A and B are shown apart, each in its own frame.
Chain A
Amino acid sequence: MVCQSLAVALISLEYWWVGIASYALSHYVHIGWWKRHHIRQHLVPLAIVFGIPILVLPACLDFNPDQWVAPVLTHASLAAQYIAIYPAFQAISPTLEILDWLRKTKSASEEQILAACRERSPVGDRIRDLENGGLIVRQSNGFELSIRGRLLAQIFIRYRALLGLSLGAG
């Protein structure tokens, strides 16, 4: 009976576009905040700027699920896809740097590309990111994974195994 009721339950799409507007507003706030402050820890500020509308939208739409579900889901989907590509903005990607650098220079030898990439994005910066994010802990003889780092690594290891692929080359 409950399953039957859920199966025919309807979600209104009347205000779904409000989710696009709320995402655009969050993005505007995000840009303004990042421009004014030097952000070191990215996860919490991102969660705040894109997460608050998810809590506020139901109140703006009279807490009527028929009205707020679609805009909240729209906002959440758009926010998720932005956060998925955010690392490409936050950290300099050697792949994108190669492409942009080749666009300016038209052509280059491997040695020239290696020299340019090492200068622009040393791997030490990525290690520092992992430390700042609490994913690795510096020890006397190197690094160790934190609990969060171990969990994240296992997610990717098992995911790659599910796809039948070896681990990414980085």
Chain B
Amino acid sequence: MKLYALATLFLLPIWILFWHAILSRFTRHRWPRQKTAIYASLSAVMVCSFIILVFERHFDPTLLAFTLVIALSLGHVYFHFFNMGETARRIRLLTKLATKQTWTDGSYDETQMIRTRLQRLVDLRQIDFDGFRYSTRPTLLRWAARNIASYREILFPRSR
């Protein structure tokens, strides 16, 4: 693999950032933010992988496998970095402090935080709301939630 092709591949998070910054300005009032981030990451991964193969000017299964493993990993890293800024309570607490909004242990509104997450899940079509009750849907995120809970049991067996 040529060095400049490798460099292009490893700068993928930067390419995703630029593309995401453009896309989010068009979709911020139409799409949920995570949806925009997912589309930006996946499309950049596909385009970057294609460009790498064009740089190399030949098709090789090893090259394709290596490119896809690296590109998907880096795209995944970018998405979770974005998602952390969007949904993580710890980041929210840090930015509240940084923007001079002081708080003590009790002043972070947990009820509003949970309501925000419920609305986010409805907007992303991960759960349904009929006006009175929330109900589940068979989605990839629900499957991930179940497996994350199981994996946490393995990593932290004393947590329950």
Interface residues of A (CB under 8 A from B): 6-14, 16, 20, 31, 34-35, 38, 70, 73-74, 77-78, 80-81, 84-85, 87-100, 102-103, 106-110, 113-114, 117-118, 122-124, 126-127, 129-130, 135-136, 141-145, 149-150, 152-154, 156-157, 159-160, 162-165, 167-170
A13 touches B98 (CB 8 A): no
Task: Say what secondary structure dominates the interface of chain B.
Answer: helix
**Docked pose: A159 CA to B20 CA in angstroms:** 11
How close is B74's CB to chain A, nearest CB, in angstroms?
6
Q: Which B residues touch A85, using CB under 8 A? A: 76, 80
**Docked pose: A131 CA to B129 CA in angstroms:** 37
Closest to B1 in A: A11
B92 at the A interface (CB under 8 A): yes
A152 touches B105 (CB 8 A): no
Interface residues of B (CB under 8 A from A): 1-4, 6, 10, 17, 20-21, 24-25, 28, 33, 62-63, 65-66, 69-70, 73-74, 76-77, 80-82, 84-95, 97-99, 102-105, 108, 110-111, 113-118, 120-121, 126-127, 132-136, 141-142, 144-146, 148-149, 151-152, 154-158
Q: Which A residues touch B65, using CB under 8 A? A: 16
B118 touches A98 (CB 8 A): yes
Q: Which A residues touch B113, using CB under 8 A? A: 94, 123, 169-170
**Docked pose: A160 CA to B98 CA in angstroms:** 14
How close is A54's CB to chain B, nearest CB, in angstroms?
14
Q: Which A residues touch B62, using CB under 8 A? A: 13-14, 16
Q: Which A residues touch B155, using CB under 8 A? A: 31, 34-35, 89-90
How close is A36's CB to chain B, nearest CB, in angstroms?
9
